[in-house]
Structures are given as C-alpha cells and as structure tokens.
Structure 1
Amino acid sequence: MVTFLAMLLLIVLTYPYFNRKKLLLKDRTVSLKTIYIFLVSLMLIIILGLRGLSVGIDTTAYYNSFEKMQFNSLSQTLDVQIEHGYKLYEYTIDRVFGEFQYLLVFMAIFYISVVSFYIYKFSQNAMYSYLLFILFGFYTFGFSAIRQTIAIALIMIAFKYIIEKRLIPFLTFVLLASSFHITALIFLPSYWLNKIKLNRRILLLFSLIALIIIGLRNELFSFLTSYSKNNYTEIETGGSFLYLFILFSVIIGVIYRKMLINKNENNKYFFYMMITALLIMPVTQFHPAVTRLYYYFFIFMIIYVPNLFNSIDDKLIRFIGMGGYIIIGLYLFFGKIIYNTDLDNYLFFWQ
C-alpha cells in the first residue's frame, strides 16, 4: 500500500511545477506537460512491469501458463480456438527473451504508453486523469488481467480512428484486440455511435433505458445468475454503487453537454463511451466471465471527467465535483481495490 500511496503523492506534488506551458532553454522551448507525462509514465511502467509474482491475483497463473508453453512448438502454441494474439505474444517473449518478467514489462510499456498518449493529446488536466486512472482501478487492472489489459490498450488505439472516421484501421485494431481477449468484439458498434445526434429525444431514451435497468436490477440479477453454475452475490459481481456513479457522471454530462462539446468537438466521443458503459454495465455485472466488459468504454472517463469539469465556468461547482470524484476514488482504491486484487503487499520481482 505504501508504494501506491507514494506514487499518488508524487503525481500530485510534482504537477504544480510541470503545469507551466513551456520551459525556455537556450535555443528552444520544451513542453513541461510532455516531461511530466513521461516521468509519470516511467514510474507507472516500473511499478507495473517489475512486480513480483505475488503481486496481482492472476500473475502466478500467467506465469504457470508461460512456463508450460516453453515446451511447445509454434503450431502447438497456436492450437487454440480463440485469442491467438496473446499466445503468439507469449511465444515470442519466450523465444526472444526466455523470461516471464519481460512479458510483464512489455505489457506495461504498451498499456501505459497508450493511456499516456490519450492524456497528452486529449486531457485538459493530466494530473487529474492519472489520478482517475489509478483510483478507479484501470491501472491496477493491469496487475491481474494481462490479456484484457492489452486488449483495452488496442481498443483505445481503435477509438482514435473513430474520431478520425477511418473504418478499416478501426476494424483492424478491434479484431487484433479480440485476439487477446474475445470480449473486445463488443466495441465494434462504437464506430457508428458518432452518427447518433445528442438531442433531447435520444438523451431521454437513454435515460429511460437506464432507469428501467436500475428498477429491474434485482430481477435481472436473479434471472441471469440462474443460468450460472456458480452462486454470486451482487457485491461479488460489482454491485450497484459504481453503476450509480457512472449514471451520475452521465447526468452531469447531459446538463453541461453544450459547454463540454463547445470546448472541444472530440469530447462528444468520450461522452458516448460513458453512455455506452452506463447501458451495458448492469448486464455485465451479473456474470464474472464478462464482469469487466464495460471497461472497454468506461476507461475513457479518465479523459471525459477532467474535460467535463474544465468546461464548467462555475469554480465552486468545478471544485466540489473534482473533489468528490477524488474522495470516491480514494474510498474505492484504498477501501476495496487494493485488498481485492492482492496489491496490499507490493514487492518487486527481485525482492
């Protein structure tokens, strides 16, 4: 826990110095935001990539899979029905480096680099984006769900092509993501979301669907879990707290949507992702096999939320809103995430 607390403090305490736009040198200027993002990224990569086997719920399982694969040929490695991308990644790391630690390091470099690219290019507050990324579990997700973490990073690359309206690259990266985790295919319809206009009728429809889901959540839970071989409580599969939080985030976006989109046209795409996360999350929470399906959409909140509050002119509302998200995030991170993901006793691989 001390490791993560120190990491959060460094992100916060160093930001005021780097928040100036430019650093004047002898013959050129350097963006301090770039330096800040690079240093934070490096720290996140080191902690994620150099962890020991005891850190993270499934790290040992991935290690055992890697060890077993060492005796297989390429044809044997790829002799699976789905998710060939991860198997090929695993095989390549083994043949080139021969050590499982490199698999973690390269995953960390890829994931954090993609996230940091988004923060650099789209976020109005880099520090706040990194805090949301960590406190709401997106960073710690990489300590356990390696395959889906890589898939999420690839989906984030695909999302860029939604903004650029380039269908072929979008499809390519979604399909590539599905070769690491088949659930990434749920992101395919996202390309056409930009065709939907955010008028009152559409927003009313989305709100109605959300309210129906909330009202029937217990019935849906009972119905869907009746088809599961295991018994899961609502708390074990996520509960409704986070769902209400996402709903609240969308409601704020609805209220201030004009300011949000006027600030930057690209913000509407992040708003679409939050709405989609809101609509699909209740269903995904009822079965552990797809529990984190909404992460493909919800991860864009690290851009959506800072930009949303940045678009609000009222300083008091902005302060209360941003502070509220941090308080909720601290509660989730130190009260639940750390302990539920075996991260309370962090060790580097050499310890």
Structure 2
Amino acid sequence: MSNLWYNYSYWDYYTFFFYIFVMFFTGVLAFIGQNSRRLIGLNRSVQQHEGNNINKVFFIGIAFLLVFISGFRVTNGKVGIDTANYEEIFKSVQSGELKVFSLKNIITLNQVEPGYLLLNKIIGFFTNNAQFLFVTCSTITIVFILIAALQKKDNISIPQILMIYCSSFFIQSFNLVRLYLAVSIIIYAYSYIEKRKIFKYTTLVLLAASFHFTALIVWPVYFFWNKNNFKFKNIIYFLIIAVFIYKFNDIFNIYFSNTKYSYYDNTLNENSHGIGLYLIKSPLLLIAFILRKPLAKVDKANDLYINILIFDFLLTPLSYSFNIFGRISSYFSIIEIFLIPSFAQISRKKNYTQIFNFLIYLCILVKYIYYIQAYWNVDAIMPYQNILFNSLFD
C-alpha cells in the first residue's frame, strides 16, 4: 500500500498529561478491581459470590475506557500515522480491489494478511465507516491484554501490569494497529507455553499471524523454556539464533526480496537510536538474569520471560539493518508488563517491597517519558483527538 499520510503532529503538553492521567486512572481502577474484596470488607461467604462480580465490573470499565480512547481517536493519519493506510485497505476490501483469500498472494507474501482482510470484510457487511474497524481492532487487542493480565492476579500487581502497558505499548498501538493486535494474541498465547500445550499455542500463533505474518517468529519460543531450569539445550537454541542473525541478509535476499517485505531490505531503522537499543534493553535483562531464581519463585513463567528477553536481545542487531525487526521486538518486549511487577514480590519484607514498588512506578514514568520524547512525532500521537469531541484540547 502506498503511504497516504501527512504528519499533523506537534508537541502538546495537554496530550502529554492526558496520557499520564489515562495510565494513572487505569491503575486506580485495576487496584480497586484486584483488591475490591479487601477494600469493601466483604465477609468470606459473600466474597465467593459477589467479589468476582465486583472485580469484573472494574476491569470491564478499564476495557471501555481504553477502547474509547483508542477506537474513537481521530484517524486519517492524525492520531496514528499509519491509520490512513488502514482506511485505504478498508475501502479496497469493500470495493473488491483486495481479495480476502488469494492463495498466490498469501504464499508470495504480497498481500495484507488474510485474517485482517477478513475482519475488514466482516465489518464492511455492517458499515462503510472505517472508524468501526479501529473500534473493533482496539476491542480485540484490549480484551486479550486484560485476559492475559487477569491470569496473573494471584502472583503480581495488575495495576502495575496495565500501567506498564499504557506507558508505551497502548499508545503505540494507535499507529501499529495490526501489529499490536497480533502482539496481544501472542502475550495470551505465552500462557500455553507455561502449560506445555503446543497445539493451543500453535493455533494462537497462527491466529496472530493471520493479522501480521511476523508473529510466526515467536513459534520457536515454545522450545526455549523448561519448567525446572535453564538447560544446556537453550544455549544450543541461542547459538542457532546467532547463526541466523549472521546469515540473515542472505536469507532475506533468497526468501523475501520479491515480497512486500522487500521495502525493509537494507533500510536503516531510523528509530533505533544507535547503541541506545542495547542501553535500553540491557538493564532489565541483566537484573532479571541475576535475580532469575527468586523471580521464578514469584512466578515460574518468569524463567520463560527471561529467555524471551534473551531472544529479543540476540535479535537486536537486525534492528539496525532491517526496520521490520524494530517492530518484531514488540512480541518479546511486551513481556515486560509481567516481568517488571514481579520484582516487587521477590522479598516478603515490607520495606524492600515498598522500595521495589517505588522503583517500578519510577520505571513506568521513565518508560513513558522516553517513549513520548522519542516517538511522539514518528507515530503521530500528538495532539490526541477523539471523534466524539473533535479535539479534547482545543
């Protein structure tokens, strides 16, 4: 698809603080939802029946809030620079210019993914308004994120999970709609690695790939984790990845040179900020690896998440030569929403827990500021505008 966007962005402090408010308010709702029984003081007999309903109400409220902000944003390249392309795809599907199922195009990777085209076609049966496409994509994305977050309710803080998500991933989804739809499915799919259910994991990976083919890269992650320890076979897998990276340019030219991904051949990732990628990824990976055993006691899945971070770190060199790998990284970096809150649960000493919580919230703020400063113009996320209010800040 041709790029139809015009950059309408300009720095806007109202938007800067609006996103902080959304992040904070989401955290408050999640805190009440996760701790409603204790806060309201329900007795044990009532807890078993009413407590769950109270939790669901608050998380449904979070879903409505985030879908409202994401799904009803002004599009056409104004909030999310790629939205004009998504609208063009929607119109092309409705006109018949783009066929939902073209085996030739699927095999040669020369068409938008069939799952996404099918979703466009289904929405087109009900309305010709592309805004409902963004509402639907936002709803699917948020629902998968919330389901994945709620699976961790007994181990870590859901408010911290959702605040980390809102600090960057949520806002970036305004631009990378298909990618984050796939990412949300993958973060849920990771739970089936923990359960060692390869069929369900594979099914979800294929579902995610129907929206963004790049999701297929996470399928080998299933084999990178053992419930008990970091086995020698993991080192073998990582060496295979190293060879893959070394030979990737040759692999790319053989398999992708005549596909829609040829655009990324030898294109410098202008958003990688040089060695900055390593500086950003190294601290969390290093600290998590050092604290691997206590983190695994908080949640056995943390061992898996550390392996995923290593996988992401090894792929980092490709981000400098192939822009697409900067986006693919989102499948791996998304696990930060589970790994970072786990640090607060390492120690049972209240003072240490408070220190970790303070550092986590500081990390959330720093992560948000970094993302906004680096990408507000690239992703066109400022100023925020909503179709129901035209512009919230005019």
Task: Say yes or no: TM over 0.5.
Answer: yes
Tell me which residue corresponds to 2:63: 41
What's the TM-score, normalizing by structure 2? 0.75
Matched, 1:348 2:348: no
Q: Is the 8 A contact 1:111 1:153 kept in 2?
A: yes
Give the letter for the 1:55 counterpart: V
CA contact (8 A) 1:12 1:127 kept: yes
2:95 is the alignment partner of 1:71: yes
What pairs with 1:1-351 in structure 2 (closer than 5 Å)?
1=15, 2-14=17-29, 17-18=32-33, 20-22=35-37, 23=40, 24=42, 28-31=49-52, 33-53=55-75, 54-72=78-96, 76-79=99-102, 80-81=105-106, 82=109, 83-122=113-152, 124-135=156-167, 137-195=168-226, 198-199=229-230, 232=268, 235-313=270-348, 314-315=352-353, 317-319=355-357, 321-350=359-388, 351=390
SS in 2 for 1:347: coil
Structure 1's consecutive aligned runs of 4 or more residues displaced over 6 angstroms after TM superposition are: 200-210, 227-230
- Following superposition, the deviation at residue 113 of structure 1 comes to 0.8
Q: Distance in 2 between matches of 1:142 and 1:256?
A: 31
Stretches of structure 1 that go unaligned for 5 or more consecutive residues are: none
Q: Distance in 1 between matches of 2:146 and 2:126?
A: 27
Give the Å deviation of 1:63: 0.6
| Partner SS, residue 281 of structure 1 | helix
Select between 253-262 and 3-12 the one with higher mean Cα deviation: 3-12
The alpha-carbon distance between structure 1 residues 258 and 37, as it changes in their structure 2 partners (threshold 3 A), is same
The residue type paired with residue 291 of structure 1 is G
Q: Distance in 1 between matches of 2:237 and 2:365?
A: 28
Would you say the 8 A contact 1:129–1:302 is kept in 2? yes
Letter in 2 for 1:301: E
Partner amino acid, structure 2, of 1:349: I
Conserved 8 A contact 1:237-1:286? no
Q: What SS does the aligned partner of 2:74 have? A: coil
Partner amino acid, structure 2, of 1:64: E
Contact kept? 1:281, 1:293, Cα under 8 Å: no
Question: Partners of 1:231 and 1:73 in 2: how far apart?
Answer: 29
Change (3 A) 1:331 1:200: farther
Distance 1:147 1:326 in 2: 25
Structure 1 residue 147: Cα displacement: 1.7
CA distance in 2: counterparts of 1:263 and 1:231, whole angstroms: 41
Amino acid at match of 2:323: P
Aligned residue type for 1:179: S
- Once the two structures are superposed, what CA deviation does each residue of 1:153-196 show, in whole Å capped at 9, x if it has no partner? 22223222212211112112212222221111101101111238
**In the TM superposition, what is the alpha-carbon distance from 1:251 to its structure 2 partner?**
1.6
1:326/1:147 Cα in 2 relative to 1: closer, same or farther (>3 Å)? Answer: closer
Cα distance in 2 between the residues matched to 1:204 and 1:110: 36
Q: Which amino acid aligns with 2:371?
A: F
One-letter amino acid of the structure 2 residue matched with residue 237 of structure 1: S
Give distance in 2, aligned partners of 1:244 and 1:207.
21
Amino acid at match of 1:257: R
Cα distance in structure 1, aligned partners of 2:213 and 2:265: 21
CA distance in 1, matches of 2:89, 2:27: 38
The residue type equivalent to 1:180 in the other structure is: F
**Preserved contact between residue 147 and residue 180 of structure 1 (Cα < 8 Å):** yes
CA distance in structure 1 between the aligned counterparts of 2:228 and 2:195, rounded to whole angstroms: 17
The gaps in structure 2 that reach 5 residues or longer are 1-14, 253-261
Q: What is the root-mean-square deviation in Å for CA atoms of aligned residues?
A: 3.5
Does the 8 Å contact 2:27/2:162 carry over to 1? Answer: no
Conserved? CA contact 2:190–2:201, under 8 Å? yes
Distance in 1, matches of 2:378 and 2:357, equals 30
